[in-house]
Homo-oligomer: A and B are copies of this chain.
Amino acid sequence: MPLTAEIITIGSELLTGLTVNTNAAFIGERLTAVGAVVRAVVTVDDAEADIRNAVETALSRADRVVCTGGLGPTNDDVTKKAVAACFGRELVLLPEAMDRIEAAFRAMGRDMAPANRLQALIPEGAEPVPNRVGQAPGFILSRDGRELIVLPGVPSEMRAMMDETVIPRLRAAAGTASAALALRTAGLPESDVGRKLEDFPSLFPDVRVGFYPDSTGVTVRLMTFGSSAEACESRIRQAGESAADRLGRAVYGTGGDSLESVIGRLLAESGRTLAVAESCTGGLISHRITNVAGSSAYFIRGVVAYHNSVKTGLLGVPESVLQTAGAVSAECAAAMAEGVRTAAGTDFGLSATGIAGPGGGTEEKPVGLVFIGCADASGTVTEKHRFLRERLWNKERSATAALDLLRRRLRGFA
């Protein structure tokens, strides 16, 4: 059985949306990485009763509870009082913490406010967690084999204390190992990805599967737990291969890969170059390509042809194409891709033209209709897509479709 864990984050700034809860994400990621199963994240105000209630509930369900926030020197920081009360303990002075606080004030040449003394208090009998970055120490309280780990809410302090003390300790206690793999896909809606992996839970009952759609595609996340790291790694490799097999050419990478980083690698490795002609995407394709460090080696030129005069001028789209097929057409997408490739003298030309909306749609050419094109020495391919939402959504999906067409072209799939 893997260890179960819960996270409690304390502070009104988290409840009122003033601060996004990045601490919970960090702690969740670290706990998951050592094989603990995070069951819940609970955020409450700096109120003694709420904190006590959250701590008691979490300790009734989880082996480990990590609690952050409310250890500062101000009046509204009541975490320690609440936690000490849960365990029926008094707060006592931790001499080494007091020394650190006094030394810090000496170094700043400032007098210590009496309130700062409070930061050196921890519940009697608690095991201190040293704070190398700041002043407030953390601490660990145990009960019936369960542990409550209390850390400051300052992200830099909390992160250091997690990585230096809490995680090594958990790794030793967990006894379980884990392994995870993310497959990145493009070109399939979430429902199709789900359908292709429908039988996965019966084939790999010990592997958890999650689907995470966003504007760049759907990420499939696999995770498994076991007694040895080697067994987990081998099992996740097996599951990953099976999933990749089912998903086929939609899989463009793993882990932190993006379509633009994969394209960049393929272009850089083969010494080939790229130019982009955009209409409805308005610069987003070029923006994504240039988010990759080193893209200047293969990305030569981008043209945002918002006006038809730019399409005929800079891109050499024939007037006749605009007059017969129109600017939103496969013919125009092809001419744009070929035109920018020729003008820039690159190996590849990539294009997108469509109606991002909300205005400009007609019955024949509705909002969300997009044509993309990819030209190289062997010819030109185009694709028609129909996206259905608001302007930014349509731009984002169009850019993803164009990048994915280039990816498949580079792989020999399109």
Contacts and interface: CB of A to CB of B under 8 A. Distances in A.
Interface of A: 12-22, 24-30, 32, 38-45, 50, 54, 72-76, 104, 107-109, 113, 115-116, 133-134, 154, 156, 190-195, 198, 201, 208-213, 221, 223, 276, 278, 281-287, 289-291, 293-296, 299-307, 309-310, 314, 344, 356-360, 366, 368, 386, 388-393, 395
Given A20-B22, A73-B190, 16 more contacts: A14-B28, A14-B41, A15-B40, A17-B24, A17-B25, A18-B25, A20-B20, A20-B25, A40-B43, A41-B41, A75-B194, A107-B386, A115-B195, A290-B395, A293-B358, A300-B309
Contact of A314 (B116, B301, B393): B301
Contacts of A208: 12
Contacts of A21: 20-21, 24-25, 41
20 contacts: A15-B32, A15-B38, A15-B39, A16-B32, A18-B29, A73-B191, A74-B191, A76-B209, A104-B388, A156-B389, A282-B290, A282-B291, A291-B395, A293-B357, A296-B307, A299-B304, A301-B303, A301-B305, A302-B302, A314-B314
Contact of A300 (B54, B306, B390): B306
A291 B25 CA distance: 27
A359 B286 contact: no
A27 B20 CA distance: 11
Contacts of A357: 293
A29 B44 contact: no
A181 to B, nearest CB: 13
Nearest to A305: B301
B287 A194 contact: no
A301 B307 contact: yes
Contacts of A154: 213
B192 A113 contact: yes
A70 to B, nearest CB: 11
A281 B287 CA distance: 7
A233 to B, nearest CB: 18
A28 B41 contact: no
Most buried by B among A193, A301, A393: A301
A221 B76 CA distance: 12
Nearest to A386: B108
Contact of A134 (B209, B368, B389): B389
A192 B28 CA distance: 34
Contacts of A45: 39-40
Contacts of A27: 17
A15 B41 contact: yes
Nearest to A119: B191
Contacts of A24: 14, 17, 21, 43
A360 to B, nearest CB: 8
A97 to B, nearest CB: 15
A307 B190 CA distance: 38
B12 A210 contact: yes
A20 B154 CA distance: 17
Most buried by B among A16, A39, A208: A16
A116 B30 contact: no
Given A21-B25, A28-B16, A76-B209, A300 B290 contact: no
